[in-house]
A and B are shown apart, each in its own frame.
Chain A
Amino acid sequence: MKRLLIPAVLAVTLLAGCAHTPPTDPADPLETVNRKVYGFNTEADRLVMKPVAKAYTWAVPALARQGITNFFANLNYPTVVINDFLQAKFLQSGQDLLRFVVNSSYGIGGLVDVGSNIGLPSHDEDFGQTFGHWGVGPGWFLMVPFMGPTDNRDAVGRAAGIFTTPTYYLASGYDVPKYSVSALQVVNLRANLLGTDSLLESQFDPYIFIRTAYLQHRRSQVYDGNPPQDDDLLYPPPEDEASTPAPAATAK
């Protein structure tokens, strides 16, 4: 337990300092470094991850890949159950526990998503969202080597999530299966992203695109898909004289 004390104190300090900033104007004091890391990640991806993911897509049929995606979603599910509970969503926590049990057994270790077909839909909760639920802001935006975008709050959340992932508790003699599983997870994840590469490449400023999208997405997750929206800020009223020519040009 003593071993955990220092990280725990560090985490609390870090979380307490997490400011609330909108996704459009986030705290990004490390932008210069973040951009360098982003450049590095992109290059590493181009040289290693992307070719590997392409080979994987070529070699493994779609149905098997779907099963693998399901398997990892299920492996992550204890984290969801725990965080439902930590956010005081007790009913959902119970349902998600049932879902985990059903998918792990009838779903053959999670390969088949039985739960979704019997009224136990998947939920998306993690420690970062739990912190957010109880009022912790995202803090600084961070770009981590090999891992991509995160922020102060979610970095602590991810670290906590390691301990709620079953593979963490594999005995030390099982290093090979443990790391193989992790490698497969990463490759599978990257393969699922292949269709999106050209879009990222064609952004005006890919770094800002990722940053805004990540923070907006996390904010939405914290509010379970219904973030409070300041519509006046997001959509100021149109200048109608500017909009009127459009319908005339359209009506053919």
Chain B
Amino acid sequence: MIKRLFTAFFVSCALCAVGAAHADVAAPQDTLKTNVNQLQKLIVEHHKEYEADQQAYYKVVDQLIVPRFDVPYVAQLVMGVYWRQATPQQRKDFQDAFKDMLIRSYANALLENAKTTTVEWLPSRYQEGAKTATVKTLLVRDTGQKYPIDFAVRRVGDDWKIYDIIVDNISLVLNFRTQIAGDLKRNGIDAVIAKFRTDRLPAAVPGAPAKP
């Protein structure tokens, strides 16, 4: 179960690359499809360079993948009830820190798995004019393992942006919200932002409570 979740999430990030801005509203599935192909191609072509220069690779991820996400909305969802208490500055800092933390945590995994994984696009229901949609995919590893991944997307202007990734029915937004809820309550928003900023996540002592 956990294996599925993790591997799937690695690779799912690969799906979220962004291309050029779209003139009219395409079906959400097509939007994502274009971007995925672009990113996968890029990683396959530049694999060695990205491996050698981590910072440059992070930059590529930041430019390609991040804009496909509705970062402000994701931040709002992840902060949950604490979003309302946050000042505009805190909201912005939280978004940036959370985003950078995710890049640091997942970009390398993405690099490792992009070559060995293909994406199957499943029929996704999408009603013309709808504000939200779900794009269903199946990630197939070269070992034959399959992971169902859904992308929850919403219309922002005339573009589609991802606000949640659902791996085997596990919502990552919900999971993150639960992970940080205790910390937000005990230590406050600034402490959590600071924690996001400390390089990688504090997993040096596995299983240690997230208490100070």
Q: Give the B-binding residues of A (Cβ under 8 A).
A: 23-25, 31, 35-36, 38-43, 62, 65-66, 148, 192-193, 195-196, 198-214, 216-217, 219-220, 225, 227, 234-236, 238-239, 242-243, 245-247, 249-252
Q: Which residues of A contact B183 (CB under 8 A)?
A: 204-205
**Closest beta carbon of chain A to B72's beta carbon, Å:** 5
* A41 neighbours in B (Cβ, 8 Å): 207
Does B178 interact with chain A (Cβ within 8 Å)?
A: yes
- A203 touching B201 in the complex, CB below 8 Å, given contacts A208-B179, A212-B174, A220-B169: yes
Contact call A217/B5, Cβ cutoff below 8 A: yes
Which residue from A39, A198, A247 sits with its C-beta under 8 Å from B108? Answer: A198
7 closest residue pairs by CB, A with B: A196-B6, A39-B207, A220-B169, A202-B105, A38-B207, A42-B206, A193-B3
With A212-B178, A235-B163 already in contact, the answer to whether A195 and B113 are too (CB < 8 A) is: yes
- 7 of the cross-chain contacts (CB-CB < 8 Å) are A25-B178, A38-B206, A202-B105, A204-B202, A216-B174, A242-B72, A250-B21
Q: Are B159 and A247 in contact (CB under 8 A)?
A: yes
Chain B residues near A243 (CB, 8 Å)?
A: 70, 72-73, 156
Closest Cβ of chain B to A229, distance in Å, is 9
Q: What is the CB-to-nearest-CB distance from B205 to chain A, in angstroms, rounded to a whole number? A: 7
CB distance from B169 to the nearest CB of A (A): 3
Contact partner of B109 (CB less than 8 A), chosen from A39, A148, A198, A213, is A198
Q: Do B177 and A238 touch across chains, with their CB atoms under 8 A apart?
A: no
| Chain A residues with CB under 8 A of B7 | 195-196
Q: Are A238 and B73 in contact (CB under 8 A)?
A: yes
Interface size on B, residues (CB 8 A): 64
List chain B residues, Cβ under 8 A from A39. 205-208
Q: Are B209 and A242 in contact (CB under 8 A)?
A: no
Given A208-B182, A212-B179, A249-B67, the answer on whether A199 and B109 have CB atoms closer than 8 Å is: yes
| Shortest Cβ distance from residue A25 to the other chain B in the assembled complex, whole angstroms | 8
Flag if B109 contacts A220 (CB, 8 Å).
no
Cβ of A132 to closest chain B Cβ, rounded Å: 14
Residue in contact with B6 in the complex, picked from A66, A200, A211, A247, CB distance below 8 Å: A200
Which single residue of chain B is at the shortest CB-CB distance from A24? Answer: B178
Q: Bound state CA distance, A40 and B208, in angstroms?
A: 11
Complexed CA–CA distance, A204 and B178 (Å)? 10
Please pick, from A23, A24, A31, A66, the residue contacting B143 in the complex, using a CB distance under 8 A.
A66
Give the complex CA separation of A211 and B174 in angstroms.
Answer: 12
Which residue in chain B gives the minimum CB-CB distance to A143? B207
Interface string of B150-166 (1 = CB under 8 A from A): 00101011010101100
CB–CB B175/A238 < 8 A:
no
Q: Does B57 contact A (CB under 8 A)?
A: no
The reply to whether B5 and A204 contact each other, CB–CB distance below 8 Å, is: no
- Is B207 a contact partner of A206 (Cβ separation < 8 A)? yes
Pair B175/A199 contact, Cβ less than 8 Å:
no
CB-contact partner of A247 in B10, B157, B173, under 8 A: B157
With A204-B210, A214-B2 already in contact, 16 other A-B pairs whose C-beta atoms are closer than 8 Å: A35-B207, A38-B206, A43-B206, A204-B179, A205-B182, A208-B210, A212-B174, A212-B175, A212-B178, A216-B174, A220-B169, A235-B77, A235-B173, A238-B73, A246-B156, A247-B156
A62-B141 Cα distance, complex, nearest whole Å: 12
Question: Which A residues touch B113, using CB under 8 A?
Answer: 195
- The winner among B108, B143, B145, B152 for most chain A CB atoms within 10 A is B143
